[in-house]
Structure 1
Amino acid sequence: MRNDHGVSVPDSEHRGLTGLLPAPARPYALLARFDRPIGWWLLFWPCAFGLALAGGAAERWDLLLWLLLGAIAMRGAGCVYNDIVDRDLDRQVARTAARPLASGAVSLKAAWIWLGLLCLIGLIVWFQLNWTARLVAFGSLALVAAYPFMKRITWWPQAWLGLVFSWGALVGWSAWTGTLPLGTILLYAGCIFWVIGYDTIYALQDREDDALVGIRSSALRLGGQVKAGIAACYAAALGFWLMALGQRFPDPFAYLALLPVTGHFIWQVSTLRADNGANALAKFRSNRFAGLLMALACFVVGSA
C-alpha cells in the first residue's frame, strides 16, 4: 500500500497488542496477521449470518464465540499457509516484502509448525459442531489449499476467496439446524459477491506492484470500470441476501432489514477513490461494520 505521499507502507507492522508481545513472539503474531483483525472479522461474519438467520444466535451464543475463535485461528492458519506459498512473490512487492517469511524473520520450518498449532485450535472448535456442520466445514479444505495459487492462473482470485471466506454461512446454519436448505445456499451466494467486492477494493492497493510481478487480480482486470464492478458485486450480494431472507421469512417487511447494509454499500462505492491506497484500505476495513449490519438483519429475520 502507498500513502497519500506515495511512500510504501509495509503490510506487517508492530502495533497494538502485537507490539506488547515479547520480541521472539512478534514475528509469529505478524505471520498470522494478529495485528490486522479485519481478516478474522470478515471470516467470522458469514458464520454469524448463517447461525442468526437459521434462528439459533440467541440460544447458542456460546457457539457464536466458538465460531469466532475458529475464525481467528483459521484465518491465521490461512495467512501462514499463504505466506509459505507466496514467500518468493512477497519479496518482490513493496507492501509484503517485510512479512516474516519473506524477510527471513521466521524460518520455513518454524512457519509449518506454527501452521500446525493454529490448525490444532481449529480442530478443537471443529469438535464443538454437530456432525453435519463438521462435514460441511471439512469440505472447505480443498478450496483453502488451492487459494494461494489462484492469483497465478486467473484474473479473478477474489472469486475463489469468496468461495472460501463465505463458507462459514453454510457452517453456521448447519451447526444449528443440521440441514442446508435453499435459503442457506442463497445466503452463501450473496456472501461470495460481497467478498469479491470488498477484496477488489483491497487489491486496489497493489495494482502497480501486481502488474510488475505478474500477479492477477480483479482490480487489474476491471481497469477503469473497477467502481462499477464493485457496485455490481454489492448489488448481486444484496439480491441473493434478499432472496435468502425471503426464504426464511416470506414477508415484505423482512426486506427492510437490509436497508442499513444497502446504505453502507452505497457510501462505500460513492466515496471510493480507486487511485488512493489509503482510501481503498479504509473502505475495505469498513466492511467489518457492513458485516455487523448484515448480522443484525439476519438476527432480526431469523428471530421473527
Structure 2
Amino acid sequence: MPAGQQPQAREPDGGPQHPHPPPPTPALPSEVVPAYPPPESEDDESWVWTQIKAEARRDADAEPALASFLYATVLSHPSLPRSLSFHLANKLCSSTLLSTLLYDLFLASLTAHPSLRAAVVADLLAARARDPACVGFSHCLLNYKGFLAIQAHRVAHVLWAQNRRPLALALQSRVADVFAVDIHPAAVVGKAILLDHATGVVIGETAVVGDNVSILHHVTLGGTGKAVGDRHPKIGDGVLIGAGATILGNVMIGAGAKIGAGSVVLIDVPARSTAVGNPARLIGGRKGDSDKDEDMPGESMDHTSFIRQWSDYTI
C-alpha cells in the first residue's frame, strides 16, 4: 500500500462501505412490484428478495425521508438473510446486547439452516396474501412486528436445540420487551405463519403450531397451572385463532379448525370445526365435509362463515 494511503473500510460481508447512499433511482412502474407472486416460482427466496428491493427503491424515490432507512436496511444488502439479520439486530439490541453480536447470530443461523430461510419466505408470502393491510413485502419485512417476532423466535429455537439456553431465553426476553410477543424458545412453530397485529400473543414452552396458521392479537397458548411436562396446546395446520382467544392445556386443535375471538378452550377441538364462547362450545360443524377441497381458515381468514349455520343467531 502506498505511504499515506488509508485502508478502505469494509462491511461485515466484505464489500466496501459507502459513506453516502447512491443517487436516487427513477420511479418504478407499478407492474414492477406485482401484488402477488407467480403461482409457481423456481426460487421463491430470490423472487421475494427482488420484489422487496424493487419496493424499497420505489419508496425511497417517493419518500426521501425514508431513503437513508431503506438504504441501510434493504438496498445496501446483497440478500434477504443479511437484510433481515441487520434489521432484527437493530430492533432487538440493547446497551448490553450489542447489534453486532445479534447480527452475527441471526446471519449464522439463517445461513446454516436453509429451512429457516424457507420459513421466512413462506411467512412473507402468507402476510402478503392474507392481510389486506399489507401493502408489500418490504412493508411486512420492515414494519410487521408479528413477522419479526416469529423470525427471532426461529433463531431462539435453534439456540435452544443447541443447548445455548441462556442466550435463547435472553433473546425471548428482548422480543417480549420490543414486540410484546412472548414465545418460549422451545415452542415448535411451523411455516407460513401470520401473527396479525401480534400484540399480546403468548405461546408456551411445549406448544406446537402447525403450518399455515393465522393467530390474531392477545391469543394465549398456555398451561393450566404449575404442572410440568407436556402441558401446552397443539395447533394443527390451517387453524385460525381469533383475537383474545385463550387455549389452555395439552389439548389438540384439529387441522382447519376455527377458534372464535375471546373464546376459552380447555378441551380438544375436532378438525374442520368451530369453537366459540367461554367456555368454548362447538357450533357450525361441517360433518362429512372434512375431506372436501376447501380453503383452510388459517389461509382464508374467514372468521364468520359458521354464522349461517347457527340457526339461533340473533342480534
User: Could you state the TM-score of these two structures normalised by the residue count of structure 1?
Assistant: 0.29
Kindly indicate whether structure 1 or structure 2 has the higher relative contact order, using CA contacts under 8 Å at least 6 residues apart.
1
Higher strand share: 2
TM-score, normalised to structure 2, is: 0.28
